[in-house]
Amino acid sequence: MKEPMDGKTDSELVARARRGDREAFTELVRGCQEKVFNTIVSFTRNVQDADDLMQEVFVQAYRRLDKFKGESTFFTWVYRIAVNQTLNFLKRKKKDEGRRAFDDRDALPEDRAAAFSPEEDSLREELGRKLRGAIDALPEAYRAAFNLVAGQGLSHGQAARALGIAENTVSWRMHRARKMLQKKLGPYLQGGEA
């Protein structure tokens, strides 16, 4: 996955933003806002919640610019803030409201390039719902790693930095998440009901 800006540009823009240059911060945000939004929506499955959380993430990033040490790119630093904010939001939501049913209208649009028969389309939609349900049922730590690697295309190293854990831990969680998904979806994929 290509980082939105190189480290030198990040450092210069962060330095300018720390001195109050809002345009410099806006440029930093532009470089990563789409990927941050996609990450958040992959966890929340709700576009409105993701939009609200993304705003909170960038407000928090602006307020904490003094904590950015330049050891990673700005994108990686903000990504970690986004993941932490989103996981905290989901914990609060689960505690306050319980689990809410997934609404397909809130999901990101699927690529419908190929034309399918109504029956094939219905089966694809059903499989998609089963898959999303199985991913949502993963324990939080495994779901976080799976969403970042499989859903957002991060490498294990990038996901490790975003989650603040070791790369080997991400690899292990991905292995376990795949095993759990295979167990849950295996009967369905072989023609039975999961």
Give the up-direction half-sphere exposure of residue 38: CA atoms within 13 A in the CB hemisphere. Answer: 13
Query: Is the domain of 94 the same as that of 158?
Result: no
Query: Is the domain of 91 the same as that of 124?
Result: no
pLDDT of residue 183: 86
pLDDT at residue 101 greater than cutoff 60: no
pLDDT tens track for 50-75: 999 999 999 999 999 989 888 888 98
pLDDT of residue 116: 57
What crossing angle do the helices spanning 7-18 and 74-97 adopt, rounded to 10°? 70
Residue 164 region by backbone torsions, left for phi larger than 0, else alpha for psi between -120 and 50, else beta: left
What crossing angle do the helices spanning 167-189 and 118-137 adopt, rounded to 10°? 140
Which pLDDT band holds residue 76 (cuts at 50, 70, 90)?
confident
Residue 112 lies in a domain: no
Among the residue ranges 51-60, 99-108, 177-186, the one predicted with the least confidence is: 99-108
Which residues constitute the domain of residue 80?
1-99
Query: Is the domain of 2 the same as that of 92?
Result: yes
Residue 56 lies in a domain: yes
pLDDT at residue 83 greater than cutoff 60: yes
Residue 108 lies in a domain: no
Total number of domains in the chain: 2
Query: Is the domain of 28 the same as that of 60?
Result: yes
Query: Is the domain of 9 the same as that of 63?
Result: yes
Return d(Cα 134, Cα 124) in angstroms, integer. 15
Of residues 139, 143, 142, the one with CA closest to residue 173:
142
Mean pLDDT, range 37-57, rounded to an integer: 90
Contact between residue 45 and residue 136 where contact means Cβ atoms under 8 Å apart: yes
Query: Is the domain of 84 the same as that of 140?
Result: no
Query: Is the domain of 33 the same as that of 67?
Result: yes
Among the residue ranges 77-86, 97-106, 162-171, the one predicted with the least confidence is: 97-106
Tell me the percentage of the chain whose pLDDT exceeds 70: 77
Contact between residue 99 and residue 137 where contact means Cβ atoms under 8 Å apart: no
Specify the 3-state DSSP secondary structure of 43: helix
Highest-pLDDT range among 1-10, 19-28, 71-80, 150-159: 19-28
Give the up-direction half-sphere exposure of residue 188: CA atoms within 13 A in the CB hemisphere. Answer: 16
Residue 105 lies in a domain: no
pLDDT of residue 153: 82
